[in-house]
Structure 1
Amino acid sequence: MNDKIPVTVLTGFLGSGKTTLVNHILTANHGFRIAVIENEFGEIPIDNDLVLNADEKIIEMSNGCCLCCAARTDLIEILHSLLERSDRFDRILIETSGLADPNPVAQTFFVDEEVEKHFALDAIVTLVDAKHVRAHLDEDGHDGVGSHVVDQIAFADRIVINKVDLVDANTVREVEKTVRGINATADIITSRYAAVNIADVLGIGAFDMARTMSGDPHWLDESDHQHDPNLTSVGIEIPGRFDHRALETWLTTHLDERGADVYRMKGLFAVDDDPRRFVLQGIHSLFDIRPSTPWQDEERTGKVVFIGRDLDRAALTRGLRSCLVR
Structure 2
Amino acid sequence: MEVMDMIPQIPVTILTGFLGAGKTTLLNRILREDHGHKIAVIENEFGEEDVDSTLLVQTNKEQIVQMSNGCICCTIRGDLSRVLTDLRHRRERGEIQFDRVMIETTGVANPGPVAQTFFMDDAVAAFYRLDGVITVVDAKHGNETLDKELEAQAQVGFADRIFLTKTDLVTPQEVDAIRARLRAMNPRAPIKQAHMGEVAIDEVLDIEGFNLNTVLDIDPEFLVDTGHHHHHGDEIGSFVFTSYTPFDPFRLERFWGTITQVYGPDLLRYKGVLYLEGTDHKMITQGVHMLVAADLGPKWKADERPMSKIVFIGRNLPEQAIITGLETCLVDAP
Normalising by structure 1, we get a TM-score of 0.57
In the other structure, the counterpart of 2:209 is: 206
Quick one: distance in 2 between partners of 1:208 and 1:167?
35
Tell me how far 1:36 sits from its aligned partner. Answer: 0.7
**1:163–1:194 Cα contact (<8 Å) kept:** no
Which structure: larger Rg?
2
**1:212–1:219 Cα contact (<8 Å) kept:** no
Paired AA for residue 7 in structure 1:
V
Q: 3-state SS of the aligned residue for 2:184?
A: helix
Classify 1:32/1:193 alpha carbon distance in 2 versus 1 (closer, same or farther; 3 Å): same
Classify 1:220/1:188 alpha carbon distance in 2 versus 1 (closer, same or farther; 3 Å): same
In the other structure, the counterpart of 1:109 is: 118
Tell me how far 1:40 sits from its aligned partner. Answer: 3.3
- Quick one: higher RCO (CA 8 Å, sep 6+), 1 or 2? 1
In the other structure, the counterpart of 2:186 is: 183
Tell me how far 1:138 sits from its aligned partner. Answer: 2.0
Classify 1:49/1:192 alpha carbon distance in 2 versus 1 (closer, same or farther; 3 Å): closer
Question: Which shows bigger deviation, 28-37 or 205-214?
Answer: 205-214
Paired AA for residue 73 in structure 2:
I
Quick one: distance in 2 between partners of 1:46 and 1:19?
7
In the other structure, the counterpart of 1:56 is: 71
Superimposed CA distance per residue, residues 74-103 of structure 1 (whole angstroms, 9 cap, x where no aligned partner): 110011111123351111111000011011
Paired AA for residue 25 in structure 1:
I
Count of aligned pairs between the two proteins? 203
Superimposed CA distance per residue, residues 119-161 of structure 1 (whole angstroms, 9 cap, x where no aligned partner): 000110000001001011222xxxxx1x111100011011111
**Counterparts in 2 of 1:1-326, with a 5 A limit?**
3-41=8-46, 47-48=50-51, 52-53=55-56, 54=67, 55-61=70-76, 71=78, 74-86=79-91, 88-139=97-148, 145=149, 147-208=150-211, 212=270, 218-220=289-291
Q: 3-state SS of the aligned residue for 1:138?
A: helix
Q: 3-state SS of the aligned residue for 2:43?
A: strand
In structure 1, the gaps of 5 or more residues are 64-70, 140-144, 222-326
**What fraction of aligned residue pairs are identical, expressed as a percent?**
44
Classify 1:203/1:133 alpha carbon distance in 2 versus 1 (closer, same or farther; 3 Å): same
Q: 3-state SS of the aligned residue for 2:126?
A: helix
Classify 1:50/1:95 alpha carbon distance in 2 versus 1 (closer, same or farther; 3 Å): farther
Quick one: distance in 1 between partners of 2:289 and 2:176?
34
Normalising by structure 2, we get a TM-score of 0.56
In structure 2, the gaps of 5 or more residues are 57-66, 214-268, 272-284, 293-334
Quick one: distance in 2 between partners of 1:199 and 1:92?
15
Classify 1:115/1:216 alpha carbon distance in 2 versus 1 (closer, same or farther; 3 Å): closer
Question: Which shows bigger deviation, 177-186 or 208-217?
Answer: 208-217
Quick one: distance in 1 between partners of 2:288 and 2:197?
34
In the other structure, the counterpart of 1:267 is: none
Quick one: distance in 2 between partners of 1:103 and 1:176?
22
**Pairwise CA RMSD of aligned residues?**
2.5
